[in-house]
Chain A
Amino acid sequence: MNTAVHVENLSKSFVVGKRLLGPPKGIVKALHPLNLDVEKGETLGIVGESGCGKSTLARMLVGLLEPTTGLIEISGEPLQNTDPALFGRKIQYVFQDPVSSLNPRKTIRQIMEAPLVHLHGLGRDERARRISEIFEMVSLREEFLDRYPHEFSGGQAQRIGIARALTADAQVIVLDEPVSALDVSVQAQVLNLLADLKRQLNLTYLFISHDLAVVEAVSDRIAVLYFGSIVEVGTAAEVFSSPRHPYTKLLAESAPVVGRPLKAPENAETELPDPLDPPTGCAFRARCRNAIAECAASSPSLEGPANHQAACFNPLS
């Protein structure tokens, strides 16, 4: 088996405005049914802006959220019930906000021991050995173990968050915006640490971020999410050198870059569609310069060679 993560037809809808009697006010489709495969040892970058469904996807992958439809297979084994403990041994999660992901009233040792006790049932000596091994890997000093989370800076706290994910000994790690709360000088340290760990432990990463440049620097493959659907997926080199979906191109052009003059790549009126009242056809068509009649009629599906697919009726060449 070379597939680390296999996701089939996975979707999530949220019911909004529940009422005591009668039907709810509406249903928001946070994630439209999607298929995804991640090879062992690969880093899949998932890019999208706020509200595109990337966190919903991440939380379903680790079992924190129950999918509405679909199947998740980690290392060839299907995981259908939402039991994070079952997921925990196979797939782990690194949170965006390093400080709030650590319980303020527990020492780092207590936090680090939890997965070892509850997932692996290790004894005291075994735990201490494992923790010092992992602390060594993420270059944290062992004296930190008896301190409380508030004593650490964001970068150190994120190292602790990564260390905790490693203690579970999972082969797949979902990184949900792991560096966006950190300062740039610390961000690079953490990204390099993640790359080292991946090499050493042969991990598979799903790296979620809104920052295209960061994703490009770490990913083998990229999936671009817009309004709950993958609009473009392919090898990182392909997607960035010749984006085929207009949204990917818009994202790339919007990122401020040294040496490129400032211009607004689109008009002010363009906003995300209303999730309670989604548009027909392609969700991006209102912002799209290449929109054609077909875009309003039906939603496009991913098409193209395996190494670069886009969901667009009129893709950029």
Chain B
Amino acid sequence: MRQFFALLFRNRLAAAGAIVMAIVVVLALLTPVLPLADPDVTNTGDRFIRPFSDGHLLGTDHLGRDLLSRLLWGTRLSLAVGFAAALIAATIGSAIGIIAGYFGGRTDNIIMRGVDMLMAFPYILLALAIVAALGPGLFNALIAVAAVNVPFFARNIRGITVSIAHKEFVDAARLSGMGDMRIILSEVLPNVIPVIVIAMSTTIGWMILETAGLSFLGLGSQPPQADLGSMLGEARSALITNPHTSIVPGAMILVIVMAINLLGDGIRDALDPRLKSGALSRPKPATLVDKNRTEMPPGDPEALLSIRDLRTEFRIKDKIYKAVGGVDLSVRPGECLGIIGESGSGKSVTALSVMGLVSSPPGIITAGSVAFKGEELVGASYKTLRAYRGDRVAYIFQDPLATLHPLFRIGDQLTEAITSHHAIPKKEANQRAIELLRAVRIPNAESRAKSFPHELSGGMRQRVGIAMALANDPDVIIADEPTTALDVTVQAQILALLNDLRRERGLAIIFITHDFGVVAQLCDRVAVMYAGRIVEEGDSADILGNPVHPYTSRLMACVPELGGGKRELEAIPGLPPVVNNLPAGCAFAERCANRQPQCTNQEIELIGTGSRSVRCLFPEKSLVEDRELQ
């Protein structure tokens, strides 16, 4: 709650709206005790007194009634009617929406078609019809305004409820023995309330306007009772001669509706989880690079892509998440390098940092070098990065359904990927797109090129994802868990395909995964990451056959392998550390059986012999010893 207000008041306009609204509401509440003239006493002798006259601060109207008094009483009434209408509309509309969304099927169909019919009428006509049927009067106007706004709430809330009713926690509640009514009240409603509040806060101003509109037409409050709409209506005839009688209530309506709308937008932004996580702040086209970073000379000149001491952080409020804490990696032409680690180990952020694809804010590269064929990419201009992205260095992501555009045919998307880097005729690019689809072994490539992404199976979509990556014949492909979402039989096909392509085209692949089996089958070398750092690196056969870092060996032991029968599994106790609060020294020490006091009081270097290195003071076997044994 405190966080909500902090967010709300950070938005200056919303804060201004809140302050104005607070003043108006306090004035309206205090009206009965303020020393005001009676709003309804007429005194035709004092009619149309100008504002700022003695005894009548805002002047008087055509019957000589004190405008200030009428304004405050009118505001009080208009606000009350507006809030009441909003509350009624929200309650009834949300109830309808929740019932339709929760039960679905026929109930939903019947209710929503009824709501659609209500929405088909122009709202003011509908309100007029209701008032005409019920007769004029403020209370009837309130009913009309509420009724007109019910469909808006019903539709909004139904949509949200549908998505919540299919969440697993609703099933879980059912299995806990709860009935439908109880689930609606205790599981669905609390999750819908923020949306109801948002909808209310953005429509309440509208409802005050609608009520004023009906009163203006003489269908709302009846004389002599003042509300803002009827004051405007009565002043209409004197609009030219005595404009202050119209301006006073008009300005009040403007102030109230503006303040409510600003406040409502602020409430919406503060409550909406998507906006809170920064959906509105557009990420920069390339990851920010810290200007004060320590520059690094590029590493390994023979390597195609070489990363040295790369550090990437996420700065969220006052917390710093060191996602990548000094990574050295390099990959040569035709080589497949595996990066293995658990979620949060920094493997994906490392990969995204290469082409500056980590979203900024909150991501920032604070140190290190990434060199492609000797050219420094950290701190390079967006233009340079863009020329490399997808052309020389391409990515394959985990979920091709999310990376392919749902509204374009896959052939067109491939063509676009080609033409954005190479100015070749459309026809030639089309031809090339079909060749690519063939290269990734998609049957009937010509006809498949005309398919939309949703028409393909998961395996086929990932083949398209690979074809996209291959579109410009890149030198390096960075594959971020490309087979994790796929079934094993499909995974085997995709891995075999990647392996063939790399041999055919001499591609370098950086393959990010959490699966040792995949690393063993595909990768020449592997780097094991833990808490943002590489803890062990070397030839994959070497490492998998002979893991030296306790984390690697314990992690491998955790994974059940086919053919072992029913058994107790080796588990690593504890959880990985959070990267905004890394322990000193070895990040794995807390979970490690070999831990000694030295492990946690000093920085531990990645030490290596030739092709193999490890970041550990007390490895399972010493590397040197290991060499001698071989």
Contacts and interface: CB of A to CB of B under 8 A. Distances in A.
B423 interface: no
Interface stretch (A22-30, A246-254, A295-303): A246-254
A260 B342 contact: no
Interface string B166-186: 011101111111110010001
B479 to A, nearest CB: 14
B187 interface: yes
Interface stretch (B28-36, B314-322, B554-562): B554-562
A268 to B, nearest CB: 4
Interface stretch (B224-232, B392-400, B516-524): B516-524
Given A93-B172, A256-B495, A251 B488 contact: yes
A265 B515 CA distance: 19
Contacts, number: 211
B520 A256 contact: yes
A262 B558 contact: no
A188 B576 CA distance: 14
Nearest to A149: B169
Interface stretch (A73-81, A125-133, A212-220, A304-312): A212-220
Interface string A53-91: 000000100111000000000000000000011011100
A185 B554 contact: yes
Interface of B is mostly: helix
B495 A212 contact: no
Interface string A85-119: 10111001101110011111110000100110111
Interface residues of B, number: 68
A293 interface: no
Contacts of B564: 213, 216-217
A192 interface: yes
Given A64-B174, A153-B575, A257-B561, A264 B566 contact: no
Contacts of B573: 189
A269 interface: yes
Contacts of B518: 256
A213 B560 contact: yes
B489 A185 contact: no
Interface in A210-256: 210-214, 216-220, 236-237, 240, 250-256
A271 interface: yes
Interface in A9-57: 49-50
Contacts of A254: 488-489, 491-492
B501 to A, nearest CB: 13
B622 interface: no
B168 A95 contact: yes
B190 interface: yes
Nearest to A247: B489
Nearest to A183: B342
Nearest to A253: B492
Given A258-B516, A264-B492, A188 B572 contact: yes
A212 B558 contact: no
B568 A262 contact: no
Contacts of A3: none
A187 interface: yes
A119 B168 contact: no
B487 interface: yes
B473 to A, nearest CB: 21
Nearest to A156: B575
B520 A258 contact: yes
Given A185-B558, A212-B562, A271-B457, A103 B492 contact: no
B605 interface: no
A175 to B, nearest CB: 13
B566 A219 contact: yes
Interface of A: 49-50, 59, 62-64, 84-85, 87-89, 92-93, 95-97, 100-106, 111, 114-115, 117-119, 153, 155-156, 161, 164, 168, 183-189, 191-192, 195, 210-214, 216-220, 236-237, 240, 250-266, 268-269, 271-272
The 5 A-B pairs of least Cβ separation, nearest first, read A256-B517, A118-B177, A264-B496, A262-B521, A188-B571
Interface of B: 167-169, 171-179, 182, 186-187, 190-191, 342-343, 441-443, 457-460, 463, 487-493, 495-497, 499, 514-518, 520-522, 544, 554-556, 558-573, 575-576
Given A213-B559, A217-B565, A257-B562, 6 more contacts: A88-B176, A106-B190, A111-B172, A217-B566, A264-B497, A265-B489
27 contacts: A64-B174, A85-B177, A88-B174, A103-B173, A104-B191, A105-B190, A111-B172, A117-B177, A164-B172, A168-B175, A183-B514, A188-B570, A189-B571, A192-B571, A210-B488, A213-B560, A213-B562, A213-B564, A254-B491, A256-B491, A256-B515, A257-B561, A262-B495, A264-B493, A266-B493, A268-B441, A271-B460
